């Protein structure tokens, strides 16, 4: 197993948000977690990435057989956990290329690989930019500086393409995207499905799953997964809304 979450409890500001969550992801699988607002979707993503304010109070998370919760956020990233942020931050004056080169080299160092040389790196990221239909001028711009909402999201997927993680957690990457941008993002994700890389897609809406076909769909409500199924579960949700399934669960 790549990721095994066992009875996870997590709090934000002393309020328990995740209340005993179990989830197992095998290499190459695409899992979608859906749920109404406030169900704990983003908290799960942040807690897995190791954000300080998201306090894990109970349970365990094993990643590649290691205790994920015991690792610093940057160590998790270097071990191949990638979080596509719901709200990517701007870092003025730091170019995309600069951040990515530092990030990529940190990851390579972890794997015992030598630093990538500048020319090879530029060739590499230009290919990846093409994949994401990202204009090359984005590469030299400040990280997310003055980007539109859609550009920020596309940039997240581009970064994922460059860093080639083993587990990509995409937190509401589809929100705020028009249909064309959604297709570009979905296309970028699909091109990175290689049978080894695993994805955890966190979304409120079913429409993302029209373009990225998941292996498993889970419904998260009140901090727990209340139902799991195949991609048909997502369609069912789309048709009946969350109310029915929530009522059935309670």
Partner 1 sequence: MASKQDNVKDIVDRKYEHGFFTDIEADTVAPGLDEEVIRLISKKKGEPAFMLDWRLKAFAYWQSMQEPDWAKLKRDAIDYQAISYYSAPKSKADAPKSLDEVDPKLLETYDKLGIPLHERARLAGVAVDAVFDSVSVATTFKQKLAEAGVLFCSFSEAVKDHPELVERYLGTVVPQRDNFFAALNSAVFTDGSFVYIPRGVRCPMELSTYFRINAANTGQFERTLIIADEGSYVSYLEGCTAPQRDENQLHAAVVELIAEKDAEIKYSTVQNWYPGDEEGRGGIYNFVTKRGDCRGNRSKISWTQVEAGSAITWKYPSCVLRGNDSIGEFYSVAVTNNLQQADTGTKMIHIGKNTRSTIISKGISAGRAQNAYRGLVKMFPTAENARNYSQCDSLLMGNRCGAHTFPYMEIKNPTAKVEHEATTSKIADDQLFYCRQRGLSEEDAVNMIVNGFCKEVFRELPMEFAVEAQALMNVSLEGAVG
Residues making contact with partner 1 (CB under 8 A):
49-53, 72-74, 76-78, 82-83, 85, 88-89, 91-94, 98-100, 102-103, 106-107, 110, 142, 159, 163
Q: Please tell me what DSSP assigns to residue 144.
A: T
Give the integer Cα–Cα distance in Å for 153 and 223.
Answer: 26
Residue 220 CA to chain centroid, in angstroms? 16
Query: By C-beta, is 104 or 220 nearer to partner 1?
Result: 104
| CB < 8 Å & 24+ apart, contacts of 60-69 | 60/4, 60/5, 60/6, 60/7, 60/8, 61/3, 61/4, 61/5, 61/6, 61/8, 62/1, 62/3, 62/4, 62/6, 63/2, 63/3, 63/167, 64/2, 64/166, 68/3
Q: Kindly state the tokens that stand for 194.
A: 């290689």
In the complex, least distance from residue 91 CB atom to partner 1, rounded to whole angstroms:
6
In the complex, least distance from residue 188 CB atom to partner 1, rounded to whole angstroms:
17
Query: By C-beta, is 50 or 223 nearer to partner 1?
Result: 50
In the complex, least distance from residue 85 CB atom to partner 1, rounded to whole angstroms:
7
In the complex, least distance from residue 180 CB atom to partner 1, rounded to whole angstroms:
26
Give the integer Cα–Cα distance in Å for 11 and 47.
Answer: 9
Q: Kindly state the tokens that stand for 23.
A: 């989830």
Query: By C-beta, is 192 or 222 nearer to partner 1?
Result: 192
Query: By C-beta, is 61 or 233 nearer to partner 1?
Result: 61
In the complex, least distance from residue 216 CB atom to partner 1, rounded to whole angstroms:
24
Give the integer Cα–Cα distance in Å for 118 and 83.
Answer: 25
Query: By C-beta, is 82 or 219 nearer to partner 1?
Result: 82
Query: By C-beta, is 69 or 246 nearer to partner 1?
Result: 69
In the complex, least distance from residue 108 CB atom to partner 1, rounded to whole angstroms:
10
Give the integer Cα–Cα distance in Å for 211 and 103.
Answer: 29
Query: By C-beta, is 34 or 61 nearer to partner 1?
Result: 61
Residue listed under structure tokens 């969350």: 242
Q: Give yes or no for a contact between 65 and 83, defined as CB atoms under 8 angstroms apart.
A: no
In the complex, least distance from residue 76 CB atom to partner 1, rounded to whole angstroms:
8
Give the integer Cα–Cα distance in Å for 6 and 56.
Answer: 12
């Amino acid at each position: 197993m790549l990721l095994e979450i066992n009875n996870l409890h997590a709090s934000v500001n002393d309020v328990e948000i995740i209340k005993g969550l179990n989830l197992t992801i095998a290499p190459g699988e695409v899992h979608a977690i859906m749920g109404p607002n406030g169900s704990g979707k983003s908290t799960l993503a942040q807690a897995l990435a190791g954000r300080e304010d998201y306090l894990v109070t109970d349970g365990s998370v094993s990643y590649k057989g290691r205790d994920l919760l015991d690792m610093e956020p940057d160590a998790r990233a270097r071990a191949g956990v990638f979080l596509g942020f719901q709200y990517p931050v701007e870092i003025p004056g730091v170019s995309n290329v600069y951040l990515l080169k530092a990030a990529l080299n940190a990851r390579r160092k972890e794997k015992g690989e030598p630093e990538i040389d500048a020319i090879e790196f530029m060739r590499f990221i230009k290919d990846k930019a093409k994949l994401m239909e990202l204009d090359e001028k984005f590469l030299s711009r400040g990280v997310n500086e003055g980007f539109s909402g859609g550009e920020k999201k596309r940039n997240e997927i581009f970064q994922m393409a460059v860093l080639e993680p083993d587990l990509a957690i995409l937190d509401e990457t589809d929100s705020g995207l028009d249909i064309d941008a959604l297709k570009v993002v979905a296309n970028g994700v699909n091109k990175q499905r290689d049978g080894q890389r695993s994805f955890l897609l966190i979304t409120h809406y079913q429409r993302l799953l029209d373009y990225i076909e998941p292996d498993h769909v889970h419904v998260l409500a009140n901090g727990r997964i209340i139902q799991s199924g195949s991609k048909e579960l997502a369609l069912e949700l789309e048709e009946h809304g969350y109310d029915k399934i929530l009522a059935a669960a309670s």
